[in-house]
Amino acid sequence: MALTGLDIFKLLPKTNCKKCGMPTCLAFAMALAQKRVKLDDCPDVSQEAKEKLAAAAAPPMRKVVFGSGDNQVQIGQETVMFRHEEKFYNPTVLAVTVSDKLTGDDLKKRIESVNSLQFERIGTKIGARAVAVINDSGSPDSFAQAAAAVKDAGDLALILVTQSPEAMAAALAKTKESIPLLASATPDTAEAMAQIAKENGCPLAAQAESIEALSDLTEKIEAQGVEDIVLNLVAPSLRDQLYNLSKMRALALKKVFRPLGYPTISFVTDDSADTQAASAISLICKYSGIVVLDTVEPYALLPMLTAVMNVFADPQKPVQVEPKVYPIGEPNENSPMMFTTNFSLTYYTVESDVEASRIPSYILVVDTEGTSVLTAYSGDKLNEKTVADAMTKHSVEDLVKHRKLIIPGYVAVMSGKLEEATNWEVMVGPRECSMLPKYLQEVWK
Ligand code: SF4
């Protein structure tokens, strides 16, 4: 919970010396609460006050990072219970299991199946982002070999799942440079697992069967010097799991209860692909930082990934594409030039219909702050000036030798002013872009 100006004021020297540029300590405290000044601007603040203010300013949920290089992922650092209050920051990581009972070609095929779970949706690459190697065999050697094979495939972040410190140490000996997440320490193995995590600089999941036991466990692990912790609360049912995740989130964010101020991991591994999809989507909504799955069925993964995309989209910021000229196919100087707005859904719908026409074209994307054609026009973000400016900025004159611009049918009303502003001939396209293929084939000359 953020400190109020009065809370901060109590920690200041209260001399009103003005060295910070403020007339009084109270004015400085109020400005600091609003993040308009920095604590360092007061040269006389005590070390004790600095430490108290720094502790209070720490995020209520810690950010945890694992994986390395391009495979690195981060979870946590959330600040609100509900997306509309601000936004959610770090999207749920979907991890898929690889059992260490698999060997040879079976192991290779499973790793390939997991790594291939990658898709594209409205111009964004989405997919599984971690592999969870499971110590089903109970053998440290088998676990180490399977972990090494996954690491060598090198496509995704790694999670090592075993309750045996011996197996964890064996697998880490072959994979520590991948900085895997270690899952999980229990009350019985906390000391040994924390030691392994600390020595190898890896985050550690803490596993317990009640919120109370879990908070005791995280305190114990933190006391051993491991700061990056992930909460693994085992529950008898999905209903209990969702209740516990919501309760832990509220305790961390609303009450700033530090022992629970960490992201979470959930396992959905013992049902059909259909049931895993339904359970995982519930856990993405409430509030699992990582969801571990057994299924490698693309049809089950896609709705989960769509849920992640939607839940973690910034509600105050429409999904946008970069404003610029996009060539579709291999257009030349005689190809059609048309414009649309930078609202992702609008752009990708237009793009797909232009592709369907099989007529190579240019699409000029005008920056309308991520709004659709009609919304942008109504809000005066799309007018003859913004289009003309975009044409100049992106040098459309250099791309085609004709001077014809196709505009969306919904803004036919701007034709006259646009012709005056650009000296280009305006051609009014169809109102619905699904008619673009027919329009381009019949009208474009
Ligand atoms: Fe108060 Fe520090 Fe500012 Fe002086 S420099 S007025 S002590 S806040």
Task: Supply the pLDDT for residue 269.
Answer: 83
- Ligand 1 centre from 26 Cα, in Å? 9
Task: Supply the pLDDT for residue 2.
Answer: 61
Question: In CATH, which of 1.10.1370.30, 3.10.20.30, 1.10.10.10, 3.40.50.11600 is domain 325-442?
Answer: 3.40.50.11600
Answer whether 443 contacts ligand 1 (Cβ < 6 A). no
Indicate which atom in ligand 1 lies nearest the CA of residue 19: 5
- Ligand 1 centre from 44 Cα, in Å? 7
> What is the mean pLDDT of the segment spanning 200-214?
97
CATH architecture of 5-57: Orthogonal Bundle (1.10)
Q: What is the pLDDT of residues 2-49, one digit of tens each?
A: 678 888 899 999 999 999 999 999 999 998 887 788 888 999 999 888
- Ligand 1 centre from 37 Cα, in Å? 12
User: How many angstroms separate the Cα of 371 from the Cα of each of 25, 288, 387, 410, 412?
Assistant: 45, 31, 14, 14, 18
More confident residue, 1 or 51: 51
CA 340 to chain CA centroid, Å, is 27
Q: Name the residue of 8, 18, 39, 46 whose CB sits within 8 Å of the most ligand 1 atoms, as the mutation to test its pocket.
A: 18
Half-sphere exposure for 129 (CA within 13 Å, toward CB)? 25
Range with the poorest average pLDDT among 3-7, 306-310, 379-383, 418-422: 3-7
More confident residue, 182 or 344: 182
Q: How confident is the model at residue 214 (pLDDT cuts 50, 70, 90)?
A: very high
> What is the dotted CATH code of the domain comprising 63-312?
3.20.20.20
Residue 217 has pLDDT above 80, yes or no: yes
Determine whether 338 is exposed, middle or buried from the number of CB atoms within 10 Å of its CB (0-12, 13-18, 19+).
Answer: buried
Q: Are 143 and 170 in contact (CB under 8 A)?
A: yes
Q: Which ranges in the chain are annotated with CATH 1.10.15.40?
A: 5-57
Task: Supply the pLDDT for residue 34.
Answer: 77
Answer whether 16 contacts ligand 1 (Cβ < 6 A). yes
Give the pair of three-digit tokens for residue 437. Answer: 């293929």
Q: How confident is the model at residue 315 (pLDDT cuts 50, 70, 90)?
A: confident
Tell me which DSSP letter residue 180 carries: P
Q: Which ranges in the chain are annotated with CATH 3.40.50.11600?
A: 325-442
For the beta sheet containing 361-366, the strands, ordered from the edge strand earlier in sequence to the opposite edge, are 325-328, 361-366, 337-341, 404-407, 425-428
Tell me which DSSP letter residue 259 carries: G
User: How many angstroms separate the Cα of 305 from the Cα of each of 30, 159, 285, 419?
Assistant: 42, 19, 12, 44
Q: Are 62 and 76 in contact (CB under 8 A)?
A: yes
Range with the poorest average pLDDT among 102-106, 317-321, 355-359, 371-375: 317-321
Residue 172 has pLDDT above 60, yes or no: yes
Answer whether 17 contacts ligand 1 (Cβ < 6 A). yes
Cα–Cα dist 374/369, whole Å: 13
Task: Supply the pLDDT for residue 423.
Answer: 95
Kindly report the pTM of this predicted structure: 0.77
Q: What is the pLDDT of residues 236-246, one digit of tens each?
A: 999 999 999 99
Half-sphere exposure for 108 (CA within 13 Å, toward CB)? 2
Q: Which ranges in the chain are annotated with CATH 3.20.20.20?
A: 63-312
